[in-house]
């Protein structure tokens, strides 16, 4: 009898982990998956404002930095929407090591977004509908089955469409951290309103390095290059579909560059000392306190990494990462209302070999996690 009651309690408190799922509102497996890293916003020579950036060069740089996935996101307006016969049909659009995603930077007067797709799609349709009302755009987007991720939402070319048609947000655009603070503000607004939108980064790299050149583009490339910042995803398979789904679910974090530490946020909701949830997961709030763990994986630099814990758009705590690369904190989510917890890590920057001015230009931000969610409603 007692055993039955104890089991029932365990079921109530522990979110049931689904092995592999694209459902954004549940808890997925914490073990059945791989960490992969990539850049989701890079311009090649098919964007007229890029310099010395052939696809072969971009892909070689990304392979050298150990990336797993990459989106070459050329401005669609530079080719009148015909991305298929430019970026994707370039003979250099090929890699044996990288999952090359299909997409483009949807470049409109109301803002920019990257489109992510596991396979070729009719991008021309999205280009042609760009100035229509949002409900009409959404219909075309849904019909194509693509992921729409708003770029640099509050910066130059801010995103002026409804966030209801957005699957993820670029909260961290380029190596320069400071202009991204207002992107976090928009993201927190959307999360606080009940919209479960994943965050990602994008370097918006337009130029290749040219040793010895002092042209502004060549100098820019010495600080802003592939993977500044880098987006990490935890996905059940090494496939394009799984990468895109993980970004939409928020099973992702962002690091300043491909060699910087990766942040991971997990939660133990039933007090058994083991993680039951990871960033991106959503569950019914437990009756008691939740023990959260922040972990920095990979090589850390000398110095202090400071973690800002955000609960529901407000600062809950500021804590230092311990000598073992982790820290813990405890909090009780709202019983009936929604809660989300996410972290921002500031500290010493890791050098980026070959991108020699990275540390001079990068701000203090080292990594940002997606949130862990409680009581977010799939029927929102
Ligand atoms: Zn843009
Ligand atoms: Zn761009």
pLDDT attached to residue 210:
87
Q: Which two tokens stand for residue 334?
A: 């709202």
Residue 41 CA to ligand 1 centre (angstroms):
9
Give the Å distance between the CA of 7 and the centre of ligand 1: 52
Give the distance (Å) from ligand 2 centre to CA of residue 325: 34
Residues 113-138: tens digit of each pLDDT: 999 999 999 999 999 999 999 999 99
Look up residue 29 and give its DSSP letter: P
Percent of the chain with pLDDT over 70: 94
Task: Note the pLDDT tens digit of each residue in 163-186.
Answer: 999 999 999 999 999 999 999 999
Give residue 262 CA to ligand 1 midpoint distance, Å: 25
| pLDDT tens-digit series, residues 244-281 | 999 999 999 999 999 999 999 999 999 999 999 999 99
pLDDT at 10 over 50: no
Closest Cα partner for 250 from 305, 209, 191?
Answer: 191
Helices (H), the chain: 2-13, 55-64, 123-128, 134-144, 181-192, 216-221, 240-249, 358-361
Give the distance (Å) from ligand 2 centre to CA of residue 315. Answer: 31
Element containing residue 202 per DSSP (H, E): strand 198-202
Distance 346 CA to ligand 1 centre (A): 26
CA angle 33, 380, 275 (to 5 degrees): 30
pLDDT at 20: 65
Distance in Å, CA 202 to ligand 2 centroid: 8
pLDDT higher at 9 or 249:
249
Specify the CATH number of the domain 33-374: 3.20.20.140
pLDDT at position 1 is 39
Rounded Cα distance, 19 and 12, in Å: 19
- Residues 83-89 have a mean pLDDT of 98
Cα of 171 to ligand 1 centre, how many Å? 13
pLDDT tens digits along 49-77 = 999 999 999 999 999 999 999 999 999 99
Please give the distance, rounded to the nearest whole angstrom, from the Cα atom of residue 105 to the centre of ligand 1: 7
CA of 356 to the centre of ligand 1 (A): 24
61 phi, psi to nearest 5 deg: -60, -45
Ligand 2 centroid to Cα of residue 364, in Å, is 23
The ligand whose atoms approach the alpha carbon of 174 most closely is: 2
As a 3-state breakdown, the chain gives helix, strand, coil percent values, each rounded to 5, of 20, 30, 45
Closest CA to 37 of 196, 205, 262: 262
**Nearest ligand to residue 41 Cα:** 2
Q: Is the peptide bond before 28 cis (omega within 30 degrees of 0)?
A: no
CB-based contacts of 114, cutoff 8 Å, min separation 6: 40, 41, 71, 73, 103, 104, 105, 106, 148, 149, 151, 170, 202
Q: Which two tokens stand for residue 368?
A: 């940002």
Q: Which ligand is nearest to the CA of 107?
A: 1
Domain residue ranges in the chain: 33-374
Q: How far is the CA of 104 from the centre of ligand 2 (A)?
A: 9
Please tell me the distance from the alpha carbon of residue 32 to that of residue 39, in angstroms, as a whole number: 23
Summarize the confidence of residues 232-248 as an average pLDDT. Answer: 97
Ligand 1 centroid – CA 112 distance (Å) = 5
The pLDDT tens digits of the residues spanning 342-379 come to 999 999 999 999 999 999 999 999 999 999 999 999 99
**Which residues have beta carbons under 5 A from ligand 1 (an ion)?**
112, 151, 157
Compute, in angstroms, the gap from residue 32 CA to the centroid of ligand 2. Answer: 33
Rounded CA separation 163/113 (Å): 11
Distance 279 CA to ligand 1 centre (A): 27
Interval between CA 168 and ligand 1 midpoint (Å): 15
Q: How many CA atoms lie within 13 A of 60 on its CB side?
A: 9
Q: Is residue 13 within 8 Å of residue 269, measured between CB atoms? A: yes
Token duo for residue 241: 């579909």
Considering only CA atoms, which of 378, 292, 297 is closest in space to residue 343?
Answer: 292
Length of the chain: 380
- 9 versus 140: the higher-pLDDT residue is 140
Cα separation, 261 vs 301, in Å, equals: 9
pLDDT band at residue 23 under the 50/70/90 scheme: confident
Cα(190) to centroid(ligand 2), Å:
22
For residue 376, the CA-to-ligand 2 centroid distance in Å is 31
Q: Cα separations (Å) of 23 from 66, 67, 85, 194?
A: 29, 26, 34, 16
Q: What is the pLDDT of residues 293-341, one digit of tens each?
A: 999 999 999 999 999 999 999 999 999 999 999 999 999 999 999 999 9
pLDDT at 155 over 60: yes
Q: CB burial class (10 A; 0-12, 13-18, 19+) of residue 105? A: buried
The mean pLDDT of the chain is 94
CA of 308 from ligand 1 middle (Å) equals 28
Looking at the CA of 74, name the nearest ligand: 2
Helical spans, DSSP H, in 77-164: 123-128, 134-144
**What spacing in Å lies between the alpha carbon of 153 and ligand 1's midpoint?**
9
Confidence of residue 18 (pLDDT cuts 50, 70, 90): low
């Amino acid at each position: 009898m007692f055993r039955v009651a104890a089991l029932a309690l365990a079921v109530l408190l522990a979110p049931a982990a689904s092995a592999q799922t694209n459902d954004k509102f549940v808890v997925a497996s914490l073990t059945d998956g791989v960490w992969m890293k990539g850049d989701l916003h890079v311009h090649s020579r098919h964007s007229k404002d890029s310099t010395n950036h052939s696809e072969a060069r971009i892909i070689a740089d990304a392979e050298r930095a150990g990336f797993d996935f990459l989106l070459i996101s050329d401005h669609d307006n530079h080719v009148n929407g015909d991305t298929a016969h430019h970026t994707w049909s370039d003979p250099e659009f090929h890699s044996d090591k990288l999952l090359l995603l299909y997409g483009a930077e949807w470049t409109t007067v109301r803002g920019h977004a990257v489109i992510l797709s596991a396979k070729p799609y009719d991008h021309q349709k999205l280009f042609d509908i760009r100035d229509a009302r949002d409900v009409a755009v959404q219909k075309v987007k849904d019909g194509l089955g693509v992921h729409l991720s708003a770029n640099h939402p509050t910066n130059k070319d801010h995103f002026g469409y409804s966030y209801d048609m957005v699957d993820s947000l670029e909260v961290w655009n380029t190596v320069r951290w400071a202009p991204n603070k207002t992107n976090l503000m928009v993201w927190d607004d959307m999360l606080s309103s009940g919209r479960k939108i994943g965050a990602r980064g994008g370097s918006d790299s337009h130029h290749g390095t040219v040793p010895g050149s002092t042209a502004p583009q060549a100098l820019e490339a010495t600080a802003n290059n592939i993977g500044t910042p880098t987006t990490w995803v935890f996905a059940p398979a090494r496939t394009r579909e799984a990468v895109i789904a993980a970004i939409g679910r928020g099973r992702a974090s962002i690091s300043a560059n491909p060699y910087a530490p990766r942040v991971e946020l997990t939660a133990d909701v039933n007090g058994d000392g083991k993680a039951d949830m990871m960033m991106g997961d959503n569950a019914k709030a437990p009756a008691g306190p939740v023990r959260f763990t922040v972990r920095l994986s990979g090589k850390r630099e000398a110095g202090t990494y400071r973690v800002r814990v955000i609960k529901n758009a407000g600062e809950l705590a500021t804590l230092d990462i311990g000598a073992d690369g982790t820290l813990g904190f405890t909090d009780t989510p709202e019983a009936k209302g929604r809660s989300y917890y996410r972290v921002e890590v500031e500290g010493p920057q890791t050098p980026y070999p070959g991108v020699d001015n990275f540390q001079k230009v990068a701000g203090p931000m080292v990594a940002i996690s997606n949130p862990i969610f409680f009581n977010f409603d799939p029927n929102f």
